[in-house]
């Protein structure tokens, strides 16, 4: 992956992080693994029903780990993932 791709990937993760942390009480998150080989890929869906908005992002394992390093993000994702 080139350095431009790394920067773009980091901007996407940062954007997801901010959106999750700034999400209202009606925000819903859904995380699921969609591929395991040749590499793990995860689908993250963020819904904001009060504004009629949804965002779906595919993340590799490294990007997901980076996103989940933030305590508030990890807590929100895991709380909704266990529902």
Query: pTM here?
Result: 0.84
Count of domains observed in the chain: 1
List pLDDT tens digits, range 26-74. Answer: 999 999 999 998 999 999 999 999 889 999 999 999 999 999 999 999 9
Count Cβ atoms below 10 Å from residue 7 Cβ, excluding itself: 10
The domain of 23 spans: 3-81
Do 26 and 48 touch, CB atoms closer than 8 A? yes
Count Cβ atoms below 10 Å from residue 73 Cβ, excluding itself: 20
Which of the pair, 81 or 62, is modelled with greater confidence? 62
From residue 75, alpha-carbon distances to 2, 12, 29, 71, 78 in Å are 32, 19, 11, 6, 5
Question: The domain spanning residue 58 has which CATH number?
Answer: 3.30.720
């Amino acid at each position: 992956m080139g350095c431009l791709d790394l920067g773009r990937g980091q901007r996407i993760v940062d954007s997801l992080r901010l959106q999750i942390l700034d999400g209202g009480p009606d925000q819903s998150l859904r995380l699921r693994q969609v591929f395991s080989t040749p590499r793990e890929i995860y689908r993250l869906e963020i819904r904001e029903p009060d504004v009629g908005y949804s965002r779906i992002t595919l993340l590799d394992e490294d990007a997901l780990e980076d996103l989940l390093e933030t305590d508030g993000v990890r807590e929100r994702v895991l709380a909704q993932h266990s529902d």
